[in-house]
C-alpha cells in the first residue's frame, strides 16, 4: 500500500509534469523520475561505503591545501563539460592526497547532475573479477561476465598498478581499456605511481610488490601508459597525507 505522502505532488504519480511557461512549455519528465533514476544508478555505481562521504563540495583546496586547487578545478570542469568532452582523467599522486575522494566526487556529481551511469572499481577487485571470469573447462575468459566494465558509461578505476597481474589477466585489462577507448567511453583512473617511463628494469625482473621508486611505466608498460595519455588528461596531486592529518587532529 502506498502512503499518500509517497505520491509525488508534482505529477500525482504519472511521472510527467506540465511546464506552462515558455521556453520549455509542454510536458516534461517529472523531477521524481529523475530522482528515482539517479537513486538507481547510484546503487549500480558500486561506490564503496568507505567513500560515501566524498563530494566535490567537501574537498578542501584552500589554505594549506592550496596545491590541490588545480586538481579540484580539473574535476569540476570535467563534470561541467561531460559528455561534450569525453576525455577521461588520470589522477596521479602520492598516498592520501585525496585521489579517490575526488574520483568518487566526480562520479556522484555526474550521477546527480547529469544522470550518467558510472561504475567504481578498485583495481584489485577488477583483477579478481577477471580471474573469476576464467572458465577452466573451456579455457577461456567469459567476457560476458565483464560486460558492465566494458560498457559502463564512465568507469572509475581506482589504484591502477597497485598489484601486478599475471599475463593473461593483464591482457584482459588491456582489452577492457582499449575497447573502452575505441568505443569512446570515459575512464577515470587514480594511481600512486609517478607518470614516468619505465626504468631500465625489465617487467619480468621487477618484484610483484611495488618498490618505492617504481614508475607507472614500470607497472603497466610504456604501451599502456601512452594509451592512457590519449584517453585521459593527467592531473597531478601532491601534498600531505590526509589520513595522517585526521589521525593527529585533536577534537573539541
Ligand X SMILES: Nc1ncnc2c1ncn2[C@@H]1O[C@H](COP(=O)(O)OP(=O)(O)OP(=O)(O)O)[C@@H](O)[C@H]1O
Which residue number is nearest to ligand X in terms of Cβ?
A: 98
In degrees, rounded to 5, the angle at the alpha carbon of residue 119 between the alpha carbons of residues 194 and 190 is 10
CA distance 58 to 159: 22
Candidates 19, 95, 201, 234: give the one binding ligand X (CB under 6 A). Answer: 95
User: Of 160, 164, 167, nearest to 210 (Cα)?
Assistant: 164
Q: Does 100 bind Mg ion (CB under 5 A)?
A: yes
Q: How far is the CB of 99 from Mg ion (least distance, A)?
A: 5
Our finding on whether 74 is near ligand X (CB under 6 A) is: no
Q: Interface with ligand X by CB under 6 A: which range of 93-101, 113-121, 175-183, 193-201?
A: 93-101
What track of x and - describes contact with ligand X for positions 28 through 57 (by CB under 6 A)?
A: --------------------------x---
**Binding site partner of 96, from ligand X, Mg ion, Zn ion, none, Cβ cut-off 5-8 A by kind:** ligand X
11 near Zn ion (CB under 5 A): yes
Give exposure, 213-243, as e/b (b: 16+ Cβ within 10 Å): ebbbbbbbeeebbebbeebbeebbbebeebe
Beta strands in the chain (DSSP E): 16-19, 26-29, 88-93, 118-122, 134-135, 140-141, 154-158, 186-191, 232-237
Task: Answer yes or no: are the C-beta atoms of 97 and 239 closer than 8 Å.
Answer: yes
Q: Is 97 in the site for Mg ion (CB under 5 A)?
A: no
59 binds, among ligand X, Zn ion, Mg ion, none (CB under 5 to 8 A by kind): ligand X
Residues of this chain that interact with ligand X (CB under 6 A) are 54, 58-60, 65, 68, 95-101, 159, 190, 192, 242-243
Amino acid at each position: 500500500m502506498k502512503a499518500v505522502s509517497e505520491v509525488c505532488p508534482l505529477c500525482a504519480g504519472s511521472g510527467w509534469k506540465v511546464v506552462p511557461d515558455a521556453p520549455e512549455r509542454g510536458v516534461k519528465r517529472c523531477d521524481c523520475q529523475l530522482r528515482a533514476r539517479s537513486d538507481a544508478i547510484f546503487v549500480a555505481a558500486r561506490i564503496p561505503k568507505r567513500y560515501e562521504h566524498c563530494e566535490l563540495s567537501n574537498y578542501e583546496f584552500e589554505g594549506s591545501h592550496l596545491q590541490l586547487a588545480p586538481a579540484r578545478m580539473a574535476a569540476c570542469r570535467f563534470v561541467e563539460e561531460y559528455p561534450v568532452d569525453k576525455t577521461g582523467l588520470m589522477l596521479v599522486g602520492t598516498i592520501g592526497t585525496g585521489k579517490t575522494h575526488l574520483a568518487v566526487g566526480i562520479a556522484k556529481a555526474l550521477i546527480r547532475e547529469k544522470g550518467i551511469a558510472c561504475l567504481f572499481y578498485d583495481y584489485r577487485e577488477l583483477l579478481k573479477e577477471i580471474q573469476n571470469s576464467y572458465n577452466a573447462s573451456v579455457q577461456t575468459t567469459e567476457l560476458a561476465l565483464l560486460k558492465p566494465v566494458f560498457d559502463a558509461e564512465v568507469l572509475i578505476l581506482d589504484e591502477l598498478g597497485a598489484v601486478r597481474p599475471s599475463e593473461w589477466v593483464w591482457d584482459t585489462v588491456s582489452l577492457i581499456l582499449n575497447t573502452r577507448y575505441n568505443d569512446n567511453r570515459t575512464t577515470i583512473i587514480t594511481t600512486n605511481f609517478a607518470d614516468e617511463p619505465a626504468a631500465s628494469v625489465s617487467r619480468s625482473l621487477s618484484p610483484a610488490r611495488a618498490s618505492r621508486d617504481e614508475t607507472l611505466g614500470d607497472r603497466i608498460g610504456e604501451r599502456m601508459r601512452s594509451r592512457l595519455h590519449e584517453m585521459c588528461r593527467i592531473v597531478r596531486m601532491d601534498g600531505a597525507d590526509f589520513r595522517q592529518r585526521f589521525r593527529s587532529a585533536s577534537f573539541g
